[in-house]
Every structure is written in structure tokens, then in C-alpha cells.
Structure 1
Amino acid sequence: MLNLLDEPLILIFIILFLGSLVGQVKIKGLSLGASGVLLVAMFFGHYGFEISSVVQNLGLSLFIVAVGLQAGPRFFRMMKSSGIVFGIIGFLVVFIASVTTIIVSKVFDLSAPLSIGLMTGALTSTPGLAAALEATQNPIASVGYGVAYPFGVIAVVLFIQLFPRVVKVDLKADLKKTIGPVRHQGSPQSLMVRVEKDEFHKKTLKELRLNNNSAVVISRVIRGDRSFLGRNDTVLLKGDDLIVVGYPEDIERFKNEVGSEETSEVKYADNLKLRRITVEANDLIGKSLREIKLRAKYGVTVTRIERGGFEFNQSPGWRFERGDVLTVVGSDRRLNEVEKLFGLRQYAETNIHIFSISLILLMGILVGMIPITVPGLGQMTLGVAGGPLFVAIIIGHFGKVGPIHARYFQPSNHVIRDLGLVLFLAGAGTKAGNGIVEVVMNEGLQLILGGAIITLVPLFVGFVVAKKLFRLSFIHSLGALCGGMTSTPGLGACNNLIDSDDATIAYAAAYPFALFFIAIAAQILALIL
């Protein structure tokens, strides 16, 4: 058996197999997930087995690029909206964790690699661990990560489950009364509104600037027995019925402005149909509704967009990702043309663009080699972790840059991410395992206590900042906290507290910022400690 383990491929797959088994074991609903591979790899590393650095760096590169491409579309969109509040919370959580790490390192006299590893484990951030290994060039950072990670997962989940009960808050009531950057809207809805106000009579939609407001979309206009699309040149008459799509609050505002709700049965004319169309064509990935001019060129209207299981009202600036599902209204002939435009093949190819992935990796590694001067501290580089992450976030935002295709079906992106992650953890674990026993015996209690402190301080301070300084609702505060701590198990606990996607929205807004700032913090801490 030991002779077989000398074969690199057999060693890799045995570690991945056993690590996956360990990661799937659940205790009170919690599991280690991919970190099970890290623990198993440490065990093998302790007995002298080691996976090649080439395999480790390949896994790291694939993982970081997949994470960056996934985060890119949200990152800059949130920076341009009120969602930047969640980004600030993500930054503050990482900043507080970094300051706490410096204090813990000095008080317990821990080495820089161990301290930075503790921080990434406390924040349950594997990309942070990658940046820590790159910055310190010391595999012992993985030991700190492995020690702090379990407590980091458990502490966040317990805080979210128990704290609302301790303070006895009604989460639904608190959400409704709290004014925050994300309104409690639910999914888009449709309503038929009767035009009754004189100022709307004989005016086009363009003159009224209704369709420039993405809050509601006029899907169609019903006049007697006729039904037609709401285009910019459509003239409204008093007594017309409008089918509008939007969030409840926006529809209510629109109804009061235009007229009143029409409660009679909607008479949809046979010439207009509703169809759900999946975005698949490479040429449209990264483009927006405004750029492709669907309404002007094809005479159809997009009323809703679904991504990752969540449904959103359409927005002219929304950039398409592969796998987005559009709800489109138009005639059968027009809908057939649009369906061909977006592509009918769903599973004909894996849609992983090797050329693009390779080019993004190459650009990212080159960017990671550029020296950056930090005043008073010296020079640093973004490295193999930060460089590809930075480039992937930027290209992920645009979706397509020249010949580079950067958006794939979510399952394809997950394949790249998960494969890269386990290869990276296997390599990092075997190197860290070589000295893990000595480190734990000498620093064991201090490591556990230090990791707990680095987890708890940002957790409590971050919540106070979100709730008191930014006056967010309880559930928004918890969701943003999970994003700042990069805790997916914590988000799962949030979603179990209340039947709402508000926690997910807050998490999704804070997570990309925290992801990026952890990578930068690891580099800066390597210079400070």
C-alpha cells in the first residue's frame, strides 16, 4: 500500500476520496465540506507524503479564477448602487479581523504565517488561505487555517441561530419597519391597471418616460379586443388597460399615478404570448438589454429575469450571464426569432472556454507579479492568488472582452471552482502536515484561543456596525455579516430563520468585497507581522 502511495496520481485521488468522505460527515447538521480534504491531506503530510507544488498551484489558479468570475457581475453592480453599504460592512469585518489578528499575534507571540492562517480560518476563507500561503511562502499557514476553521463555522451558525432568540426580536416585523438599502420586495408581480388620469391621454410612453423607469415594465396595452406591446411610440388613451410587471411597492406607486387597478378578467389577445427563454449564445454574454435593443429590433418586451433561482424585474443595464432565464412577451413569430437569437441548445456543450480560462490565468499571474509599494511598509505583490482574482472580477463584470468569454452555466463554473479547490487543499495540506504535530504541541491552546478571538470580535463588532451605524434590519445585518465572514453555512442558518431572500441579497452584496479584501489583508499582514 505504501508503495502505491508513492505514485503521485494514486496519492492525489486517495486524499480526495478520503477527504470527501470526511467532509460529508454531518454533526448537528454541520459538515467540514471541502475542508475535509485539507485535514486528510495534513494527516498524509505528517507521514512524509507530499503532492507536487505544480498540482497545488494549478488548483489554486482554477479555484481563484472561478470565484472571481462568479463574483464579478455583482461586485461592480453593487458599487454603483445603495448595496455599497453591504460592501462597506464586508470591508469593516475584514479590517476588524486584521487588527484583531495583529493583537493576537503579539499577545500570544505567534509567527506571521500562523497568525494569518488563523485569520483566514476564522473567516472561513479558502481564497484567503491561498493568499496567506502566497504572501508568507510558509505552509504552516495551513495549520492556523485548519485549527481556526471549525470554530469559525460553528460560531457564526450558533450566533445566527441563538442571538435573535436571546434578544427576542420578531424578524418579520423588524424587516417591515426598518428602512435599509434593500427593500423587502419579494418576487416581481403583474397587475392590470386602468388609465384614468387626463395627463396620460394621447401621450406616448416615451413622452411619459415610463419605460425609462426600470421599476415597472409595461408588458402590453389592452384596448377593447386588441392587445399590443408597450413600445416607446405606443400612444395611450384614457380607458386603456396596461399589464405592468414589477415589485409590489413599485406597482402600487405606478397604479396610484396612472389610475386604478382593473379587477375584471384579463383578456389576453391571441397575438401576444409569454415565453421563458434561456440565454445561451456566446455573442450575447456580457451584453445588456439596452445594447441589443430587443424591443426596437424584434418588437418584444422582457418583463423579468431569473438568475440562480432568484427572479428580478428587468433592467436595461442588466448584463447577461449564460443560463439567465428571460420572461419575454411578443407574438409567436417574434418570440421564435428571439429564441434563435439567444440560442436553443442547452446541453450541447460543456461551455467551458479553455482559451479564455488560460488567457485570464496568464493575465492574472502577470498582474500578480507587479510590485505594489505600500507607504511605510515596503513592496508587495498580489501574487498567484490576488492577481487572477483581480483580473477575473474585472472580466467577469463585462462577461466578454474581445475573444475572452467569461460567463458559463453556473454548474460549469462550479466544476472549475470545486476541482481547483480540492487540488489546492490537497497540496497545501500535505505540506502543512509535515510540521503540524510540533506546532500543535507547542502552540495548541494559544492557536485555539487566538482563532476563537479572531472569529468572535469581528462577529459582534460587525453586527453592531450594521445594526446601529447603518440601521439595517436584523436579517439584513445577519446576511451582511455572513458575507463579510464568507460563511456559507451561516447564510444557510439565516435562510432558516425567515422565509425571505433578503439575507441572501445582503450576503451576495458583502461577499465579493470581503473576498477581495481578505486577499489584500493577507498580503499587508505579511509585511506588518
Structure 2
Amino acid sequence: MDWFVITLRQYPELAVFLTLSLGYFIGSFKVGSFSLGTVTSVLLVGVLVGQLDIAISANVKSVFFLMFLFAVGYSVGPQFFGGLKKDGLPQMLYAAIVCVFCLIFPFLIGKLMGYDMGLTAGMLAGSQTISAVIGVASDTINHLNIPADQKASLINKIPVAYAVTYIFGTAGSAWLLASIGPRLLGGNLVEKAKELELKLGGSSIGDDPAIASAYDRVIYNAYQIAGHSYACNKTVAQTEAELQSKGRRLFIQRIRKGKEIKDVTPDTIIEENDVIALGGRREYMMNYVAVNEKEVLDAELLNFPLEVLSVMIIRKEVVDKTLAELRQADYMHGVVVRTIKRAGIEIPVLPNTKLNKGDMIELIGTKRDVEAAIVHIGYADRPTNTTDMIFVGLGILLGGLFGAISLRIGGLPISLSTSGGALISGLIFGWLRGQHPTFGRIPEPALWVMNNVGLNMFIAVVGITAGPSFVEGFKEAGWGLFIAGAAATALPLIFALLLGRYVFKFHPIITLGCAAGSRTTTAALGAIQDAVKSKTPALGYTVTYAVGNTLLIIWGVLIILLMS
């Protein structure tokens, strides 16, 4: 054991990876629907490992924290600036107001309880579940004109307060929005979610949770044409038009004539005993009743390659169109939209869902049809392992330089700090990527590493560094900090729900999504969607999430300035 401890002190990088491994392991456990989560688990394990008195350079956490913040900004940049359009402005204003109260309530509670800036900043970070505040607030404290030992004491209190208040910040937010939220918004939100889906062009086929998971799938079946079938002796174009007139957007991809299999054209004639490969979204196939045709198992006919490809929407002819309008375009023949993601969040695939610039839509169809559609929609996000590190390195450098600029107001140094600058730079560079997707590519796995591992490496070092003083700080704060954190979590959320209902008059389902997004609590979004049995709350989540993720991180600077 002595050898193990000495080795960790001699090679502190091993202590970091030990902390990450155990933290991810503990964070994977759930009790019911509750989990500590990876970040809190890594922090607590780091505190435990930190009892071994392991010294780690502060530069290590700074590198990973800047990488994390740039990735955050990059992810939400298109939605942040896209929200400035007319349709997104109400949600942006709503999120900004909610974020202001997410700052005011922890500040007032901290003053009332007599907490110093370290405990108050940690309470802000934990109660609002915004881990990045730990780093931003620490950077700001380091810029204050106070003794070094006082800085260290204040900085070490931040993770203490974060750990104590984060539990209710996460679980409490999900419970409040999913259980109390419907009561504050008029109740029976399952019916209201169904109404919203119908308004967006959905149908009762999505009401059964058992088939909701099949909603995004595309299937192909083979049918043998009988002599009395309405498709018999008609062209492929006429048959597809007949199907679509009955609300079934289905396509004939191939045809078997005797022993010969052919790709079809719009003018191909369908004859008796021909076997057609008919495909489309599962809900349309489920609505298709083959009265005159007989479904057959024809593995050879159905064994044709399909291309599944994510495409970023950038073309003006598609932006602000509904999905129904996109489907009517000639170039969408044989192509099905399987999923739509906005800021990485999956939103409902319904006819009246409006498409925004920067949305990622997943197309499925034959390679010929998909490639023809891409030209009119935007940029194909083809799988790649290559990250544009010129873009990433330059973005973090420019952001850090901007954040390092300090202004003195009344003798107090004011700056965004390098961390705040990296966030702003990420927003701008993410928006540039959305406007010109030919450069600045960060593949999703690489973005996950920057975002997830970047944050947890930072948190691991924070925990190890603060470990020796953590227990003493917890004793000083006491359990009253947990209650104070619960109040700091609940009050802004209750206010957010009432604000959405009575001031902005959003649809109650959209209000729930906006409240979760403004607080950047993805776990709560999942709980809300389960509670209302619909994906529609995500329509209010994406723009507000972009605003919340930006402002709440910047509050790490403001809370220190307010408390100082």
C-alpha cells in the first residue's frame, strides 16, 4: 500500500486516471431513476484520492477545461445564433430571464446564509447543475486582488458546495418538472401533448408507447400484384400518386418480372403477378392494408443496398420549411427522413415540424436517391475520424486571448477569463461551421471526448486538489447547505413554469421543454418526455439550452463579482 501511494505521488497522472475509472464506474449505477452522474462521482472519487496528498499542476485542468468549454460553445453555436430569428426570439428572451433568476436566487440565498463567494459559487454550480461554473469561478477568484492563501481557501470550497447541492439539483429538477410541472401548467399534459402532435401533423398511431420506438424506422416489404389490384397495368408514378393521395408516403424501389429483377423508373408499368418492393416509414406501412396484393417473402428482391446519411440543413430552399413541404419536393422521391436532431437533441419527426438551419436530418434511401436529395438540402455529414485541429486550436487560442483582456472598474478587475473566452469562441466557431460546413469538422465521437472527458479530467484534478480540505469545508458548510441548494434549485424552476404559462403563454408542453433547456438539465427532459409520453417537449429545449449553456457558465464570473 505504501508503494502504491508513493507511486501515485510520483506519477500524479496515474491518480487522475484512477479517479476517472472509478468515477465513471460509480456514475453508471442507478437507484430507480436516480444516478449520481459521472461528474459528481468523479469529483467525490477525486476527493477520496486527494486524501493521499497528491500534487497536480493546475495547468493540467486548465487545458482540459478550455477544450471542454470550446466544445460546449461549438455544439450550441448554430442554435444560439439561429434563435435570434423572429421565431426563436421569444424562447431566447424566456431563457435569458430564467437564467437571470438562476443567478439571483443563489446569490440572495448565499447572502442570507452568510456564505462566502466560494460556497455561493459552488451552490450556483450544483443547484443549477452547471459544472463549468467551478472552473470559471475559480479563474475569476484567481484574478482578485486578495492573498494567495485566501484564494486557495475560497477555490477549495467551490467543489464542496457543488457536491452537496448537485444531488437535488439533478434529481430535484427532474422531479419538479415531470411531477409538479404538469400541475402548475394545468394538468393532464398527456392529452395536451397529443393535441400538439396532431397540430404538428401527427396521428393516433403514435399514442401507444409500445410502438413509439418504431416511429423512426424504415421498412420494405414485397407484394405480388393481383389482376384486380388498383396498381395492375399502371405506371410506378401513378401507383405512388394513388398511395400518397390516401396519406401513405410509400415508394416502389424495385420490381420482379418473372425471374428478372429491375430498378424502376416513374414510367415502369406494373403488371399482374409482378412483385414490387414497397418501402417507407413504418407508420405508413402499418397503415397500408394489402387488400388486393399478397405479401411475399422475396429475399432477393429486398436485398438491395440503402444509404443512411446525416445531412446538415444549409440550403435556403429548405430552411424554415415544414417536413411536409420538404417531402413534397421532387428530389425527395424515394428518400425518407428518419430522425431530426437540433443541437444534438432528437426532435419529433412530424409533418409540421419546422426545419432550421443547422439541423441534422438523417436520410435513408437508395444511394442514387439520397445523393440527389443532398444537393438540394445541405452538407452530407459523412462518417470520418478526422478532426480539424487547425480550427479547434485557433478557436481556443483566440477565445483565450480575448478572455484574458482585463478591464478595471472601480479598482476591480473585470474579465471573461480564458475559460469564458473559450466558450464565446466556441459559439462563434460553431456558428461559422454551420454557415460554411466545408471546414471546422469535429466528428461526434471526438466532440464527445472533448465535452465529456475534457470536463471530467478537469473535475478529477479539482477533486484531487481540493481533497485535503474537502472534509473540513463540509463540516463548516453543514447540512444547511443542502437545504439552501434545494431552494436555489426549486425557486427558479417554479418561476420558469409560471413565466411560460402566464407571461409568454407558451403551449404547456413547450413550456416544460423551455424550462428544462434554460436550466440545461437533459435528465429532466427525459423525465418530462416519459411523463407526457411524447418527444414534443424537445421543441422547446434546443434554443433555450443554447442560451442557458452560455449564460449559466458566464454567471460563474458574475457570482464572484457580486459576492466580492
Deviation by residue 1:222-271 (Cα, 9 ceiling, x = unmatched): xx95859xxxxxxxxxxx96998xxxxxxxxxxxxxxxx56799896932
- 2:188 alignment counterpart: 170
- 2:7 alignment counterpart: 4
- 2:464 alignment counterpart: 430
In 1: Cα distance, 2:427 partner to 2:309 partner = 24
In 2: Cα distance, 1:81 partner to 1:276 partner = 35
- For the 8 Å contact 1:105–1:115, the answer to whether it is kept is yes
Show structure 1 runs of 5+ residues with no match. Answer: 190-223, 229-239, 245-260
- 1:185 alignment counterpart: 200
- 2:49 counterpart (44, 50, 57): 44
In 2: Cα distance, 1:403 partner to 1:464 partner = 39
In 1: Cα distance, 2:62 partner to 2:194 partner = 47
Q: CA deviation at 1:45?
A: 2.4
1:457 aligns with 2:491: yes
- 1:108 counterpart (99, 105, 113): 113
In 1: Cα distance, 2:187 partner to 2:436 partner = 51
- For the 8 Å contact 2:200–2:350, the answer to whether it is kept is no
- 2:315 counterpart (284, 288, 292): 288
Change (3 A) 1:286 1:65: farther
In 1: Cα distance, 2:111 partner to 2:493 partner = 21
- For the 8 Å contact 2:156–2:470, the answer to whether it is kept is no
In 1: Cα distance, 2:433 partner to 2:7 partner = 44
In 2: Cα distance, 1:334 partner to 1:512 partner = 31
- For the 8 Å contact 2:156–2:469, the answer to whether it is kept is no
- 1:358 alignment counterpart: 393
In 1: Cα distance, 2:65 partner to 2:332 partner = 42
Change (3 A) 1:58 1:286: farther
- 1:474 alignment counterpart: 508
Give, as a single letter, the amino acid of the residue that structure 1 aligns with 2:357: W
Show structure 2 runs of 5+ residues with no match. Answer: 143-154, 205-233, 254-263, 267-278, 281-305, 320-325
Alignment of 1:497-512 (within 5 A): 497-512=531-546
- 1:148 alignment counterpart: 165
Q: CA deviation at 1:359?
A: 1.4
- For the 8 Å contact 1:356–1:404, the answer to whether it is kept is no
Q: CA deviation at 1:57?
A: 1.0
- For the 8 Å contact 1:301–1:329, the answer to whether it is kept is no
Change (3 A) 1:372 1:496: farther
Change (3 A) 1:315 1:169: closer
State the aligned residue count.
451
1:139 aligns with 2:142: no
- 1:20 alignment counterpart: 24
1:318 aligns with 2:357: yes
Look up the SS of the partner of 1:3 in the other structure. helix
Give, as a single letter, the amino acid of the residue that structure 2 aligns with 1:45: G
Change (3 A) 1:53 1:404: farther
- 2:527 alignment counterpart: 493
- For the 8 Å contact 1:482–1:507, the answer to whether it is kept is yes
- 2:405 alignment counterpart: 370
Q: CA deviation at 1:119?
A: 0.8
1:447 aligns with 2:484: no
Change (3 A) 1:370 1:175: same
- For the 8 Å contact 1:300–1:330, the answer to whether it is kept is no
Q: CA deviation at 1:352?
A: 2.1
- For the 8 Å contact 2:193–2:532, the answer to whether it is kept is no
Change (3 A) 1:403 1:501: closer
- For the 8 Å contact 2:23–2:41, the answer to whether it is kept is yes
Which TM-score applies when normalising by structure 2? 0.70
Indicate the percent of aligned positions where both proteins have the same amino acid: 22
- For the 8 Å contact 1:301–1:328, the answer to whether it is kept is no
In 1: Cα distance, 2:252 partner to 2:41 partner = 56
Look up the SS of the partner of 1:325 in the other structure. strand
Q: CA deviation at 1:412?
A: 3.0
Change (3 A) 1:22 1:336: closer
In 2: Cα distance, 1:503 partner to 1:112 partner = 36
Alignment of 1:509-528 (within 5 A): 509-528=543-562
Alignment of 1:291-302 (within 5 A): 300-301=331-332
Alignment of 1:379-418 (within 5 A): 379-399=413-433, 405-418=439-452
Q: CA deviation at 1:378?
A: 4.8
Deviation by residue 1:341-368 (Cα, 9 ceiling, x = unmatched): 967963xx41322222211111111121
- For the 8 Å contact 2:61–2:462, the answer to whether it is kept is yes
Indicate the larger mover: 479-488 or 417-426: 479-488
Change (3 A) 1:394 1:373: farther
Deviation by residue 1:109-168 (Cα, 9 ceiling, x = unmatched): 111121011011100011222222222232322222111101111211221343257668
Change (3 A) 1:403 1:457: closer
In 2: Cα distance, 1:470 partner to 1:369 partner = 38
1:32 aligns with 2:32: no
Q: CA deviation at 1:290?
A: 5.0
Deviation by residue 1:373-431 (Cα, 9 ceiling, x = unmatched): 77x79542222321111111111123168898334343331122111011111111122
In 2: Cα distance, 1:47 partner to 1:4 partner = 11
In 2: Cα distance, 1:518 partner to 1:87 partner = 14
- For the 8 Å contact 1:279–1:326, the answer to whether it is kept is yes
Q: CA deviation at 1:482?
A: 1.4
Deviation by residue 1:33-81 (Cα, 9 ceiling, x = unmatched): 2221011112222442233212211211121111111111211222214
Give, as a single letter, the amino acid of the residue that structure 2 aligns with 1:2: V
Change (3 A) 1:105 1:160: closer
1:278 aligns with 2:309: yes
Look up the SS of the partner of 1:278 in the other structure. strand
- For the 8 Å contact 1:186–1:501, the answer to whether it is kept is no
Give, as a single letter, the amino acid of the residue that structure 2 aligns with 1:33: G
Look up the SS of the partner of 2:496 in the other structure. helix
Change (3 A) 1:334 1:470: closer
Deviation by residue 1:458-492 (Cα, 9 ceiling, x = unmatched): 12111111122112233322222211222122112
